């Protein structure tokens, strides 16, 4: 089913609105937490359901990983147990990626047919094809599925980027033809091309020709600087439909989110907030806070007095530092609750600023605090 962005306000190229799916609508810009193996590490879905920023912004879409779920427990098992939503206990929206990023991190053998790789679980050999990725995601039953693409690392030679583009385009055509679950599942195409602006333009144009239900930009935040990433992103966006959702994959640091919104991106996912949380690093309006520092041992202050999360409402910095220091698993949960709430608050502020015509001011404020952080990376 084709997804359309109902734009309610713009400020320059930044836009805010809603996207309707067969299961319900979500607001944009949106940050999507990553539940790689069917759960956000250290959190359960009922924990996520309880999170909300001060303006009510919450985890309206959760991302699952096809690579991991097709190997453990298997897409057929998930389907037999009622599909991914029921399996993980989440009644809101879900998106599954194709597993391409994880597969290509394993240095697979690539050919026209697909990608041959060895499982990280037991070493068994598998062939992931464009059609197989589609069929697996149809069994999982998420509301949005992604096509199988080739994600080249950066830096890569122009020849390698060209090869990735050609395979991505060919596989996208096959995936589009293979998609059968069109009544309740949207399918997004993915633009590749590295940091080569002409390749990004070409990939975007070829992807749009296939008439996908939405569009993503992949192959960024994989080794390049933000200064290299943003022009490549802009080159792709110039050729994507303005009335459909546009998704920047795997990017989650505050400056990159805000700068990408300024270019016209609507959707983001990243493991960065929960990965940082598991290592005792908290996101605040003043930047990153390392709760392991000795200065917090006797602090009775919350992480952030303005944050509406349960962690900040109930627990002190001193208590969180203690939990991290003694290795309590609850430390990761409490810190993740805070970091995800902070991210939801950030995108809520972005939406409000676009609607109010003050987005440039917010953009400057975020850059002043976070300009030293790089693009968020990878898998959990």
Q: Which of 35-39, 49-53, 129-133, 273-277 is the least confident region?
A: 49-53
φ/ψ of residue 287, rounded to 5: 110, -165
pLDDT average, residue stretch 299-310: 95
The count of structural domains within the chain is 1
Is 364 inside a domain boundary?
no
Whether 97 sits among the annotated catalytic residues: the reply is: yes
What is the per-residue pLDDT for 54?
Answer: 66
Is 267 inside a domain boundary?
yes
CB 4 within 8 A of CB 215: no
pLDDT tens-digit profile of 244-277? 999 999 999 999 999 999 999 999 999 999 999 9
Would strands 93-97 and 61-65 be described as parallel, antiparallel, or unpaired?
parallel
CB 45 within 8 A of CB 89: yes
Is 152 inside a domain boundary?
yes
Mean pLDDT value across the chain: 94
Confidence check: pLDDT of 11 > 90: yes
pLDDT category of residue 181 using cuts at 50, 70 and 90? very high
CB 379 within 8 A of CB 67: no
CB 103 within 8 A of CB 134: no
Is 372 inside a domain boundary?
no
Whether residue 29 has a cis bond before it, omega within 30° of 0: yes
pLDDT category of residue 372 using cuts at 50, 70 and 90? confident
Cα distances (angstroms) measured from residue 5 to each of 161, 162, 212, 298, 322:
30, 31, 14, 48, 45
Is 351 inside a domain boundary?
no
| Pick from 139, 128, 132, 142: nearest CA to 90 | 142
Is 117 inside a domain boundary?
yes
Confidence check: pLDDT of 374 > 70: no
Confidence check: pLDDT of 380 > 50: no
pLDDT average, residue stretch 345-365: 97
What is the per-residue pLDDT for 373?
Answer: 64
pLDDT average, residue stretch 59-87: 96
What is the per-residue pLDDT for 377?
Answer: 40
Both structure tokens of 221: 């935040």
> Torsion angle of alpha carbons 235, 375, 129, 181, nearest 10°?
-80
CB 115 within 8 A of CB 66: no
Share of the chain above pLDDT 70, in %: 97
pLDDT tens-digit profile of 359-371? 999 999 999 999 8
Whether 143 sits among the annotated catalytic residues: the reply is: no
- More reliable by pLDDT, 52 or 18: 18
pLDDT tens-digit profile of 207-248? 999 999 999 999 999 999 999 999 999 999 999 999 999 999
pLDDT category of residue 107 using cuts at 50, 70 and 90? confident
| Identified catalytic residue from 97, 149, 213, 304 | 97
Cα distances (angstroms) measured from residue 359 to each of 9, 267, 284:
11, 17, 19
| Pick from 253, 271, 257: nearest CA to 350 | 257
Is 65 inside a domain boundary?
yes
What is the per-residue pLDDT for 101?
Answer: 83
Which stretches of the chain are DSSP H helices?
Answer: 45-50, 66-71, 75-80, 84-88, 100-105, 130-140, 158-178, 197-208, 226-237, 254-263, 272-278, 310-314, 317-325, 329-356, 359-370
CATH assignment of the domain containing 116: 3.20.20.105
Both structure tokens of 279: 């290592």
Rounded to the nearest angstrom, the gap between the alpha carbon of residue 9 and the centroid of all alpha carbons in its chain is: 23
Stated pTM of the model? 0.96
Is 337 inside a domain boundary?
no
Confidence check: pLDDT of 376 > 90: no
| Identified catalytic residue from 11, 213, 269, 304 | 269
pLDDT average, residue stretch 323-351: 97
Structural domain containing residue 245: 5-271
Whether residue 322 has a cis bond before it, omega within 30° of 0: no
What is the per-residue pLDDT for 103?
Answer: 77
What is the per-residue pLDDT for 210?
Answer: 98
Confidence check: pLDDT of 298 > 60: yes
- The Cα–Cα gap between 191 and 291 comes to 38
CB 245 within 8 A of CB 19: yes
């Amino acid at each position: 089913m084709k997804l359309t962005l109902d734009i309610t306000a713009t400020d320059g190229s930044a836009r805010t609105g809603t996207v309707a799916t067969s299961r319900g609508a979500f607001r944009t810009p949106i940050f999507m937490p990553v539940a790689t193996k069917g759960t956000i590490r250290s959190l359960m879905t009922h924990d996520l359901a309880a999170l909300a920023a001060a303006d009510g912004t919450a985890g309206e879409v959760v991302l699952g990983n096809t690579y991991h779920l097709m190997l453990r427990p298997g897409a057929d098992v998930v389907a037999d147990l009622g599909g991914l939503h029921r399996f993980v206990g989440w009644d809101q929206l879900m998106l599954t990626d194709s597993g391409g990023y994880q597969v290509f991190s394993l240095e697979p053998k690539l050919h026209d047919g697909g990608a041959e790789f060895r499982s990280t679980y037991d070493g068994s050999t598998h062939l992931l094809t464009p059609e197989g990725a589609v069929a697996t995601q149809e069994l999982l039953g998420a509301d949005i599925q992604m096509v199988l693409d080739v994600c080249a690392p950066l830096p890569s030679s122009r020849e390698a980027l060209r090869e990735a583009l050609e395979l991505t385009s060919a596989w996208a055509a096959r995936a589009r033809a293979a998609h059968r679950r069109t009544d309740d599942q949207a399918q997004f195409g993915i633009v590749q091309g590295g940091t080569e602006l002409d390749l990004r333009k070409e990939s975007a144009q070829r992807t749009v020709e296939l008439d996908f239900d939405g569009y993503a930009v992949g192959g960024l935040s994989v080794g390049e600087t933000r200064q290299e990433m943003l022009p490549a992103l802009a080159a792709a966006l110039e050729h994507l439909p303005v009335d459909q959702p546009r998704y920047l994959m795997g990017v989650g640091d505050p400056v990159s989110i805000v700068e990408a919104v300024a270019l016209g991106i609507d959707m983001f996912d990243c493991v960065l907030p929960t990965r940082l949380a598991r290592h005792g690093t908290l996101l605040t309006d003043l930047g990153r806070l390392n709760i392991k520092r000795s200065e917090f041992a006797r602090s009775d202050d919350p992480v952030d007095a303005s944050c509406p999360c349960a962690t900040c409402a109930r627990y002190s910095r001193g208590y969180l530092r203690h939990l991290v220091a003694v290795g309590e698993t609850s430390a990761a949960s409490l810190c993740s609750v805070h970091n995800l709430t902070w991210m939801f608050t950030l995108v809520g502020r972005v939406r409000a600023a676009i609607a109010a015509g003050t987005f440039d001011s917010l953009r400057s404020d975020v850059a002043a605090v976070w300009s030293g952080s790089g693009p968020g990376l990878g898998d959990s």
